[in-house]
Structure 1
Amino acid sequence: MTNGDVHALSGAYVLDALTDIERAAFRRHLGGCATCAIEVAELQETAARLADGAWSIPPPVLRDKVFAEVSRTRQDVPTPVKPIRTHRNRRLFTVAAAVVLAAVAAGGTFAVQENRLDDQRTAARAEAARITEVLSAPDATLRSTDLANGGRLTVVVSPARDQAVLTMSADRPAGTGRTYQLWMIDDAGGTISAGALPAGTTSATRLVQGAAAADVFAVTIEPAGGSTAPTSDPVAKVAVA
């Protein structure tokens, strides 16, 4: 980190991006620095959310139940004496066929869901790797400030990579029909959205591009869905220039 500032190692420590020597030194530092201890706790909570998604998969027990039903459902085999299938036979055959079709469909659903899960895990790992690269960049600097309504905004900027990692954790939701939104602001007052949080969300970590041109990073409270430009005064501002 820049100028060997041990306080700036929080993010790299959380993502296990330090050398053994750096990790040991930072652990000793944590024992006497309440600010860094809080920072680490906040970043660990946020890092745990990186792989969160909106997907869901059928419970594993469903597959077992389907195949168990297949094994229990029998159809009568016509005998030479009575070659014509009875109404009962037709009913049992229909049930068995339906169960088999359900089993095949369930198997296909599991395959699709597993593929989707693998894709999302791969994307989450790739995003975490990119964040780690910024946090461990030689020119990375860390700045943080409290939110006016409770919480904290932390910014790690790597000018050489033209990227920044923004971590926000609020004490409470933004309000009904409202959401938090992150911004990059240049010295001329121009604003670029760094992303609006989903309604009701109180924490997020964002990797943003074009960070080298930003002088200030800010958080505002906006209508649900976000705004193209800030519509309220920032509840937090971090100057990095």
Structure 2
Amino acid sequence: MTDIHTLVGAYVLDAVDDIERAAFSRHLADCPSCASEVGELRETAARLADGAWSVPPPGLRTEVLAEVSRTRQVRPGGRPARDGRPAGSRWRTLSAVAVAAAVLAAGAGAVTWTVAQQRVRDERASTAAARAETERIRTVLAQPDLAVRGAELSGGGRLTVFSSPGRDAGLALLADAPPIPADRAYQLWLMDGATARPANVLAAGATGDTALLSGVRGRSAVAVTVEPAGGSAQPSTTPLVIVPFT
């Protein structure tokens, strides 16, 4: 049968089952030495982890319990443990376990905080970029020389082009285009006669979106092709539609 005095470390680390927890709780009422050890261990762990606690790594509990299972304890009174180590050595070992647990928890807290901060920065940058794009779209649509042209894609869907030569900018609205594989994307091209210049690439697999165009002055049309995700330097497929600016 397990010596109940040896459950001090496991009890503090909540590594006991319900029966052991109930038995040791009753034992604490009649054993000042064990009660003192429990209080000291809890205080040590709390101070080391104060201000840095976070969700610990998945392997922390397993590592700590493995160390506890290898650590022998002694009864109150200073008698050597079964492996011959004095009580002071056993206390140092338990303290090392507590320190290791606190250090791992602090490390996890630092990582969690860093990840959270990066997410906040990413979200702020994304929001700022979205606002800037919305403002550019509004600027294009407010131009007095704005021209609007549109045409149907072969296979379905429609491309509508808004252009402002004076602003040298435009806007392309692709809607309800035919479905494409997730590793393909619709790409927009600014045409100068038979010469195509990359204009914008939609998200992979997307069948509709709004895209800003720059450098439209002097161009003849906007074309759409299906390309590998990420786009191509030159069209690799036949255009599904070509919308002239005039």
TM-score (norm 2): 0.59
Q: RMSD between aligned alpha carbons?
A: 2.5
Q: How many residues align?
A: 165
| Residue 134 of structure 2 is aligned to residue 128 of structure 1 | yes
| Displacement after TM superposition at 1:88 (Å) | 2.5
Contact 2:189 2:223 in 1 (8 A): yes
| Residue 201 of structure 2 is aligned to residue 201 of structure 1 | no
| Displacement after TM superposition at 1:153 (Å) | 0.7
How far apart, CA to CA, are the structure 1 residues paired with 2:93 and 2:106?
20
SS in 2 for 1:213: coil
How far apart, CA to CA, are the structure 1 residues paired with 2:55 and 2:212?
47
How far apart, CA to CA, are the structure 1 residues paired with 2:113 and 2:235?
48
| Residue 106 of structure 2 is aligned to residue 100 of structure 1 | yes
| Residue 239 of structure 2 is aligned to residue 234 of structure 1 | yes
Query: Deviations for 1:121-167, whole angstroms, at most 9, x for unmatched residues?
Result: 11111111111100121111221222111111111101110001111
How far apart, CA to CA, are the structure 2 residues paired with 1:153 and 1:95?
60
Q: Rate the CA distance shift 1:227–1:67 in 2: closer, same or farther, 3 A.
A: closer
Task: Show structure 2 runs of 5+ residues with no match.
Answer: 1-52, 62-77, 79-86
Q: Partner of 1:47 in structure 2?
A: none
| Residue 173 of structure 2 is aligned to residue 173 of structure 1 | no
| Displacement after TM superposition at 1:177 (Å) | 5.1
SS in 2 for 1:106: helix
Task: Show structure 1 runs of 5+ residues with no match.
Answer: 1-65, 74-80
Contact 1:143 1:154 in 2 (8 A): yes
Q: Rate the CA distance shift 1:226–1:112 in 2: closer, same or farther, 3 A.
A: closer
| Residue 221 of structure 2 is aligned to residue 216 of structure 1 | yes
How far apart, CA to CA, are the structure 1 residues paired with 2:170 and 2:140?
7
Identity %: 32
Contact 2:150 2:161 in 1 (8 A): yes
| Residue 105 of structure 2 is aligned to residue 111 of structure 1 | no
TM-score (norm 1): 0.60
Q: Partner of 2:167 in structure 1?
A: 161
Query: Deviations for 1:203-227, whole angstroms, at most 9, x for unmatched residues?
Result: 2222121112122111122344433
| Displacement after TM superposition at 1:176 (Å) | 6.9
Contact 2:147 2:163 in 1 (8 A): yes
Q: Rate the CA distance shift 1:96–1:135 in 2: closer, same or farther, 3 A.
A: same
How far apart, CA to CA, are the structure 1 residues paired with 2:146 and 2:201?
24
Give 1:130's aligned amino acid.
R
- The structure whose Rg is larger is 2
Q: Rate the CA distance shift 1:176–1:120 in 2: closer, same or farther, 3 A.
A: closer
Greater RCO (Cα-Cα under 8 Å, separation 6 or more): 1
| Residue 187 of structure 2 is aligned to residue 189 of structure 1 | no
Give 2:116's aligned amino acid.
F
SS in 1 for 2:217: helix
| Residue 121 of structure 2 is aligned to residue 145 of structure 1 | no
| Displacement after TM superposition at 1:178 (Å) | 3.7
Give 2:237's aligned amino acid.
S
How far apart, CA to CA, are the structure 2 residues paired with 1:194 and 1:184?
6
| Displacement after TM superposition at 1:168 (Å) | 1.1
| Residue 99 of structure 2 is aligned to residue 90 of structure 1 | no
Contact 2:55 2:109 in 1 (8 A): no
